Structure 1
Amino acid sequence: MNANFIMWEENGRTDFYYNTTMEQAGCLREAQTWNEMLKTYNGNIKFRDKAWGPENYRSCFDTPGLVRNMHRPYEIMNLSSNVFITWPTDHTGIYLFTVKVVDPNYSFCKLTTQFAVETYGVLVRYGINNKSDNLQ
């Protein structure tokens, strides 16, 4: 999808990461973040669906502005960017995401969908220098 969209994990999991910072994405000012958008609701994640959408989305590419910390994750995605999420490799997990289009120029409709991802943790490899080789 070429439109800008956001996503959140329905069960409140936060052990996934965005691969790109605001600076790496090429933002001219600080981009909106989940923390910023949820301040209106005292940080309560139950209001994620209401906190951020086409009615209050602003692109960080349009006009230069406040540039305090551009090293924070860039949390807005679309097909044309190199932004993606990664998962930890030290444990397995099931994630249920909701995706919501925030681009006000894309549609007048509220566009959302959900998808799930199951990850698998690190595979333990036994080798010459691995203490587990001494198991009997």
Structure 2
Amino acid sequence: MSAAAAAYAPASRQGTPCRPRLVSVPTGPAVDGPAGVRRRLRPTPLGRLVVLVVVAGLVTGLAFTAIGGGGGPARTITVEPGQTLSQIAAARLPAVPVDDAVARIRLANNLPSAQVQAGQRLVIPGG
């Protein structure tokens, strides 16, 4: 079947049994419309869900990048005797306000408080 497809359509007449018959269904350029005219795509519900998940993933990734500093590699340091987390934050992240720098270091190291001990190794996030 080159330019047409066959479809099943039951013939119905009152009083007579239905016999199937074939009906020609147009395909190709006859259905596509005039050349150069694009038809609007209509996404399915599954397609909409996929787009939503991808967009949500991108937004979440950008948010984590913005919160975590997003720039530069992380460094590891060892806490010296007498050092506080605020001193480390001020020295290692000078471009960031101290309270924000302390929060970033706590998040990067899963610290429950701002207390650190001598000899403890800390990851300093980039940024």
Shared fold per TM-score greater than 0.5? no
TM-score of Structure 1 vs Structure 2, range by shorter chain: under 0.3
More helix by share: 2
- Structure ranking higher on relative contact order (CA contacts 8 Å, 6+ apart): 1
Q: TM-score, normalised by structure 2?
A: 0.21
